[in-house]
Every structure is written in structure tokens, then in C-alpha cells.
Amino acid sequence: MEAFVRSHIREMSAYEPVLPFEVRARQLGISPEHMLKLDANENPYGPLPEVLGALSRLPYVHIYPDPESGFLREALAEYTGVPAEHLMVGAGADELIDLIARLFLEPGDAVLTCPPTFGMYAFVAHLSAARVIPISRRQDFSLQVEEIEATVERERPKVLFLASPNNPDGGLISSATLERLLKLPVVVVLDEAYIEFAPPSSSHITETLRWENLIVLRTFSKWAGLAGLRVGYGAFPKRLMKYLWKIKQPYNVSVAAQEAARIALEHRDELQRRRDRIVAAREAFYRELRAIPYLEPYPSQANFILCRVVRGSAATLHHTLMARGVLVRYFNSPGLQDFIRISIGRPEEMEKLLNTLRQLPFPP
């Protein structure tokens, strides 16, 4: 049977997600309530009580969901300033990334990525048998804009994937840089999964009304604490919407996910207060990390902080923390040798981690 599997799928690498919390706890022999999960950029406060209440009262779980997520798109239009006819809701932003690849890419087409960045961009491109052309970021994680321009002229890619704030470093793309890239003959997909943790003027979602080649993606996973329900959305040029509706799965976003996201938007003032607490914790944690002699933290506009391990090895630090019930993300890939990324939790969780970092006999 394997002979019938498409050849490029046989050869491609699998995407490696973070292990589920309860699985890692069982492996370590530590009860979940004694662990710190700071490895996947989830919201430490979880869903709002109003969201949990609405989910407990759902009346139509036995009925298929609205295939167009109409009520949610109306609420998103009011929140983003982008008309509903430009918006599509997906089972997480990941589904929309996959739809974009299905929409544009044929085997052999070129796609540009700018690693280190979110691995899903290259993953969906490989699924479509596209050619992934990586244009590595500089040592400070800024984009090599001139190299992108030269590659677009030489390779004629269809899609350029970018993230702002970028994962894993948390850096933003400036308006001037984005406008320069939008002048290129390529579809620019801007992933704003972490944008609510950045300064208010950082989003470019309304620019989709001005630029025919700009797509902006967002998610409820980080800001609204709904990672487990899988709900995200995208703002697209209006001309593309008829094609997206053709290829989208009809019942892709569950009744629960649509309702949870809609109720979260109704109570976004409370979400903003939680966001402010996370940002304050991030800034305080960054200041304290700078005093840890074996870590070099990078400034971030997201809900995580990337650190280079400058003494010892990141692998050793990762395993040492894990043995103590602290989960952080470890990287050892091109451009990310000896790095860890730490999600921002509640202030008491960050203080517990700081105390652990200060007490470690590290490097060994």
C-alpha cells in the first residue's frame, strides 16, 4: 500500500507538536498540578468565566454548525474594522494556512519562508509539493528584505509567509518593511497570532482592504485562551473569498468554538485586562532574566521570551528544568542553536521559574 502514497509525502518530515501536558506529566512521574507548563504559548488564565458559562448552556450541540460562522464574522467585523465579507473563520489559524496553500500552490511552485519562524508555513507548503525557499533572518531576527526582493525576482514565488510578532523571537515587522514587501509580485501572508500582546498600533489587518496581495491571519488561542477549541480567522482580499468558500470544509468550526469566540469578543474588556497582566509579567520577567548569567533574553512583543543559552547547553538546561516539572520549549535548529523559549504565565509562576533558574548549578 505504501507504493500508492504520494512520493513527496513519503519523503517529507512530520510536524512535531508539543506533547500534551498530561502525557508529559505521566512520563515525568509528576502530578500536573505541580508542573509549570510554559512551552506552548497558551494563555495562563484560560477562557473567561462567561465563555465557560455559555459553553455549559449550548442548546444546539446536536445540530451542525453554521458553515459560514455568520454571527462570529459579524462580531469580528466590529472588532477588527474589516467587513465580514472579507473574513473567514477556521479551525485555528492552522486550517487557514492550509487553505491558502491549497488555494495557490501547485506542485513545484515556490514559497518563501523566513526562518527561524513558525514551522507550519513550510509544513503546508511541503504537503502541496511546493518548493520551500528559506531566507534566513539576521542574527537579531530581522528580515533580510533585500534578499527577499532578489529571491522574488529570481524565483517568482507565489506566497511569502511572515509572522508579526514572529515566533519564536517576538519581533514585529514595521509598516515600512511590510509596505516594501507588498510592492513585490507575491502574495504576502502575515500571521498576527500574537498581535494582541503588541502595542495597539501594530496590527496591519485593515491593510487587507487596501492591498490586493495581503492576507492577515489571527487566532483566539493566545489572547482569548481558547487553544483547545481551535478557532482562528483571516482577513482576505474580497476577490479571493469566492475561491476560499469553494475549498473550505463546510462544517469546519464547531458550535462550541464559534460560540466561545463570539462570547469572548463580547467581553473583550476583560480579555484586555488579562492581556495587560501578561504584558506586565513579560516585561518584569525580561528584566529579571537579564540578571541570569547563563541566559541572553531577547525583547519580545508576544506572550513569550526567547533566550540564548550562552553558558552550558540549552539541551541540558531544558532537561534540568523538565526534571523539576518546568516545561519550556527547546530549539536546536539552524539559526536557533542553544535557545529556549519561555511562555509567560501568571506572575507567581514566573517568580517560581526565576527562583529555579537562580538556584540551578548551571552550567554544570
Q: Which three three-digit cell numbers place residue 56?
A: 455549559
Give 106's DSSP letter.
Answer: -
Where helices occur in the chain by DSSP H, the ranges are: 7-11, 21-28, 49-56, 70-80, 92-104, 120-127, 145-155, 175-182, 238-247, 255-266, 268-289, 314-323, 347-359
The pLDDT of residue 281 is 98
Q: Which amino acid is at 144?
A: Q
Q: State pLDDT tens for residues 108-157.
A: 999 999 999 999 999 999 999 999 999 999 999 999 999 999 999 999 99
- Rounded to 5 degrees, φ, ψ at 131 are -90, 120
Instruction: Please tell me the predicted confidence (pLDDT) of residue 24.
Output: 76
Amino acid at 327: L
Q: What is the pLDDT of residue 362?
A: 67
Distances (CA, A) of 160 to 7, 102, 175, 211: 25, 15, 16, 14
CATH code for the part of the protein at 49-267: 3.40.640.10
- Which pLDDT score, from 0 to 100, does residue 203 have? 98
Is the pLDDT at 86 greater than 70? The verdict is yes
Q: In which band, very low, low, confident or very high, does the pLDDT at 310 lie, cut at 50, 70 and 90?
A: very high
φ and ψ of 74, to 5 deg: -65, -45
Separation between Cα atoms, residue 294 and residue 296, nearest integer Å: 7
C-alpha to C-alpha distance for 19 and 288, rounded to whole angstroms: 28
Task: Tell me what the mean pLDDT of segment 278-282 comes to.
Answer: 98
Domain boundaries, the chain: 2-46+269-359, 49-267
Provide the 3-class DSSP secondary structure of residue 330: strand
pLDDT digits (tens, 9 = 90+) for 230-274: 999 999 999 999 999 999 999 999 999 999 999 999 999 999 999
What stretch of H or E contains 235?
Answer: strand 232-235
Reply yes or no on whether the pLDDT at 4 is more than 90. Answer: no
- Grid coordinates in use for 264? 469572548
Over pLDDT 70: what percentage of the chain? 99
**Res 361 pLDDT > 70:** yes
Q: Tell me what the pLDDT averaged over the chain comes to.
A: 94
Q: Which residues contact 211 (CB under 8 A, 6 or more apart)?
A: 182, 188, 237
Supply the pLDDT for residue 363.
64
pLDDT per position as a tens digit, 341-351: 999 999 999 99
- When pLDDT is averaged across residues 309-335 and rounded to a whole number, the result is 92
Burial call 273-309: b when 16+ CB within 10 Å, e when fewer: ebbeebbebbeebbeebeebebbbbbebbbbbbbbbb
Amino acid 160 reads L
Q: CA 346, CA 274: separation in Å to the nearest integer?
A: 10
CATH no. for 2-46+269-359: 3.90.1150.10
- To 5 degrees, how large is the angle CA 105–CA 336–CA 181? 45
**% residues pLDDT > 90 (the chain):** 87
By C-alpha distance, which of 269, 322, 282, 285 is closest to 50? 269
Q: Are 308 and 77 in contact (CB under 8 A)?
A: no
CA atoms within 13 A on the CB side of 270: 14
Quick one: average pLDDT of 325-335? Answer: 91
Maximal CA-CA distance, the chain: 59
SS3 breakdown of the chain: % helix, strand, coil, rounded to 5? Answer: 45, 15, 40
Find how far residue 164's CA is from the centre of its chain.
9
In single-letter form, the type of residue at position 113 comes to T
Q: How far does Cα 250 stand from its chain's mean position?
A: 24
Residue 276: the pLDDT is: 98
Reported as a pLDDT band with limits 50, 70 and 90, residue 364 is: low
Residue written as grid cell 496581495:
213
For every residue of 309-322, DSSP letters joined together read E-SS-HHHHHHHHH
Q: At residue 60, does pLDDT exceed 60?
A: yes
